[in-house]
Amino acid sequence: MSENPFFKPFATPHESFPFNEIKLEHYEPAFEQGIKEAKLAIEKIKGKKEDANFSNTIEALEDSSDLLDKVSTVFFNLMSAEAGDEHHALAQKLSPKLTEYENDVLLDPDLFSRVKAVWENRESFTLSLEQARILEKTYKGFVRNGALLNDEKKTALRKIDEEISTLWPKFSENVLKATNAYELLVENAVDLEGMPDAALEEAQSLAEEKSKKGWIFTLQAPSYIPFLTYCPNEKLRENLWRAFATRAVGGEFDNKAIVKKIVGLKHKRAQLLGFDHHANYVLTERMAQHEKKVFSFLEEILEKAFPAAEKEVEQVRALKEELSGVSKLNSWDFAYYSEKLKKKLLDFDEEELRPFFKLDSVVEGVFEHAKKLFQIEFKKVSNVQKYHPDVEVYEVYDTNDSSFVGLFYTDFYPRKTKKGGAWMTTYRSQHFSAGEDKRPHVSIVCNFSKPTKTKPSLISLNEVTTLFHEFGHSLHSLLSRCQYRSVSGTSVYWDFVELPSQIMENWVYEKEALDMFAKHYEKGDLIPEALVKKIKKTMHFMAGYSFTRQLQFGLLDMAWHTADPSEIVDVEDFEAQATEATRLFERIPGTCSSCAFSHIFAGGYAAGYYSYKWAEVLDADAFEYFLEKGLFSQEVSQSFKENILSKGGSEHPMELYKRFRGREPDANALLRRAGLSS
């Protein structure tokens, strides 16, 4: 085995991860050594002779697992972004070890007694707001993970956590493999008339790679979405749609049993800890606080959105009948005919925008936004190691004093070793150590349209919005100014974390903002005013449908995590019942989105998917403030930076929001923006 890079300080720029040196063989010994060192640190805390206080117990816990944090961070980040079969297999082995260690800490009665002593005597300590928050978070973390249980229940909790730790990586692996397993070969050019040139070129290139004649389409978003939107052959659209809708449903990569197991185990765990179900366990540490508030919130929006969605679907159905003579509208028809309706009503074809959205230019544009709003600049570097050739790395600096803000990684293109979707993650969270401000290392990972042989990467409006969204998450981490890593950056209540990301999407629809990057990739012309006006109109186009679809996922998530699992017989039937109130199309047997719902079964959104809509209320209200004062108002942007982005989870989110906005959010701002208010 080569020398393990985890066993020495990283002699790299900004102590960045030495990806070129890290091999699969290094992870397990590094995990084992990290756990060993962390346990020794815990024993040292427990062995203190002086009374427990914030410094010798709570702060000491914050710094007790540096090596373990490093190795687990890079291992699980790469499991999503760059992992083969061996990496996934190792996850099945290492996840239970990590879970066992975490339970050893959280269920240690002697350690908890010290934490409890600090908590009970908190009034006698002089603590900052952030320290008080850390203390509360630490104490609740122990209690919420079983510290007050008897030995028998602690043992039961350990078994549950160990089993869950093997299930979510398997769920994720099945979704990835099911996605990669399907390909649609099209051999007749007539079937693809009207498809975007870039999508065709990419599909043809993929076919050539596989020594086949024709075009190959996949379930990756840059292939799947254009196909469903523009392919004129209904049967082919149906084939691809069914393949996507049945990922990990039956067959070799079936997730149905795993879904039931995860839900059942989480329910048992919640009840062990004194909660009715997993949702209430989760929501006690959210702004929403209780399931009834979440259901009420979702149903209130649905009441406005669903009638609008029904009218929109009827418009699309009528257009299909007009154009094809067939009155029935299927799920695989909606994107195709709604795009034609958009063209008819708004004289707008989203493909008109691609020439103005060269990915490199959009990236520069989002950097320019950050500079104008928050006074930071991004400089591409080549001396920082990368985990894949597609990755680019930037150093981020404050334009006021040239101080280093953080490292920023971008990873934009699909590959078989990367899961679908888009996300932001950190390799190092901002925190102070020995008086030094350790600046964050942040990454955004996406699956955008790749460059072709003849064109650069020209992305869709939706992909531009996704980039701004994930960049907003990155700003939350990059601009963090907290003392402790456990509350820095995006370590906030889950239904608050989407505010910095979703507010950034708003700039994509403004001419002043678009002029900073939306230039024709060949001619250099700025995006025309007439086209921008059309983009603005699309904000209301199919808004009811879009809302209803998002609410469907939120309600499905809540259904899974409030139901009694013993009464769930069939995963598909349960999903059908849970989403009945949001159904706009005929249910197709054999389809089941739950089996690929990675957000809630292999991510952190269980009983939290509603947070996207919850945070949309916040971002719509916050952006109205920008519109009132000016799109790049320094007054508003500096307040947002100071009161939201820099504070992380160091204070309660509603207090931070009120300090920024001067009041609580106006719930109607979201409906106003979508054109759904009465």
Last residue of a domain, one of 102, 129, 148: 148
CB 645 within 8 A of CB 654: no
Judge whether 25 lies within some domain. Answer: yes
Judge whether 341 lies within some domain. Answer: yes
Mean pLDDT over 123-146 rounds to 97
Judge whether 177 lies within some domain. Answer: no
Nearest to 193 by CA among 236, 241, 239, 230: 230
Nearest to 489 by CA among 647, 357, 600: 647
Judge whether 537 lies within some domain. Answer: no
What does the block give as tokens for 141?
Answer: 């973390």
User: How far apart, in Å, do the first and last CA atoms of the chain sit?
Assistant: 67
> In angstroms, rounded to a whole number, what is the distance separating the alpha carbons of residues 17 and 82?
15
Same domain, 21 and 135: yes
Q: 3-state class of 50 per DSSP?
A: coil
Same domain, 194 and 300: no
Judge whether 165 lies within some domain. Answer: no
Same domain, 42 and 118: yes
> In angstroms, rounded to a whole number, what is the distance separating the alpha carbons of residues 405 and 402?
9
Same domain, 269 and 234: no
Q: 3-state class of 133 per DSSP?
A: helix
What's the gap between Cα 28 and its chain centre?
27
> In angstroms, rounded to a whole number, what is the distance separating the alpha carbons of residues 654 and 496?
9
**Residue 678 pLDDT > 90, yes or no?**
no
Determine the structural domain holding residue 113 and report its residue range: 5-148
CB 463 within 8 A of CB 449: yes
Q: 3-state class of 244 per DSSP?
A: helix
CB 568 within 8 A of CB 263: yes
Same domain, 73 and 96: yes
The pLDDT, as a whole number, for residue 677 is 79
Last residue of a domain, one of 563, 591, 609: 609
- Residue-wise pLDDT tens digits, 565-619: 999 999 999 999 999 999 999 999 999 999 999 999 999 999 999 999 999 999 9
> In angstroms, rounded to a whole number, what is the distance separating the alpha carbons of residues 69 and 46?
21
User: Percent of the chain having pLDDT more than 70?
Assistant: 100
> In angstroms, rounded to a whole number, what is the distance separating the alpha carbons of residues 37 and 33?
6
Same domain, 368 and 514: yes
The pLDDT, as a whole number, for residue 330 is 98
Residue in the structure block whose two tokens are 């989760």? 282
Question: Which DSSP state fits 526?
Answer: B
Same domain, 189 and 280: no
> In angstroms, rounded to a whole number, what is the distance separating the alpha carbons of residues 545 and 300?
15
Residue 354 amino acid letter: R
Which of 470, 498, 505, 616 is an active site residue? 470
The pLDDT, as a whole number, for residue 1 is 67
- The domain total for the chain is 4
Question: In the beta sheet, which residues pair with residue 519?
Answer: 526
Same domain, 495 and 619: yes
DSSP, residue by residue, 340-382: HHHHHHH---GGGTGGG-BHHHHHHHHHHHHHHHH-EEEEEES
> In angstroms, rounded to a whole number, what is the distance separating the alpha carbons of residues 359 and 350?
16
Phi, psi (degrees; rounded to nearest 5) at 68: -60, -40
Judge whether 224 lies within some domain. Answer: yes
- Residue-wise pLDDT tens digits, 401-454: 999 999 999 999 999 999 999 999 999 999 999 999 999 999 999 999 999 889
Residue in the structure block whose two tokens are 């790395």? 393
Same domain, 601 and 630: no
Q: How high is the mean pLDDT of the chain?
A: 97
Which value, to the nearest 10 degrees, does the dihedral of the CA atoms of residues 629, 635, 637, 642 take? -140
CB 58 within 8 A of CB 118: yes
> In angstroms, rounded to a whole number, what is the distance separating the alpha carbons of residues 201 and 203?
5
Judge whether 251 lies within some domain. Answer: no
Confidence of residue 557 (pLDDT cuts 50, 70, 90): very high
Residue in the structure block whose two tokens are 């809540």? 558
Residue 457 amino acid letter: S
- Residue-wise pLDDT tens digits, 237-248: 999 999 999 999
Same domain, 633 and 550: no
CATH code of the domain containing 600: 1.10.1370.10
Helix or strand (DSSP H, E) at 407: strand 404-411
- Residue-wise pLDDT tens digits, 456-473: 999 999 999 999 999 999
Nearest to 223 by CA among 247, 246, 205: 205
- Residue-wise pLDDT tens digits, 321-349: 999 999 999 999 999 999 999 999 999 99
Judge whether 503 lies within some domain. Answer: yes
Same domain, 563 and 581: yes
**What pairing do the DSSP bridges indicate for beta strands 392-398 and 376-381?**
antiparallel
> In angstroms, rounded to a whole number, what is the distance separating the alpha carbons of residues 416 and 388?
13
- Residue-wise pLDDT tens digits, 485-504: 999 999 999 999 999 999 99
Task: Look up 436 and say whether it is catalytic.
Answer: no
Same domain, 601 and 644: no
Give percent helix, percent strand, percent coil of the chain, each to the nearest 5: 60, 5, 35
**What pairing do the DSSP bridges indicate for beta strands 376-381 and 431-433?**
unpaired
The pLDDT, as a whole number, for residue 445 is 98
Residue in the structure block whose two tokens are 């020398």? 3
- Residue-wise pLDDT tens digits, 54-100: 999 999 999 999 999 999 999 999 999 999 999 999 999 999 999 99
The pLDDT, as a whole number, for residue 575 is 98
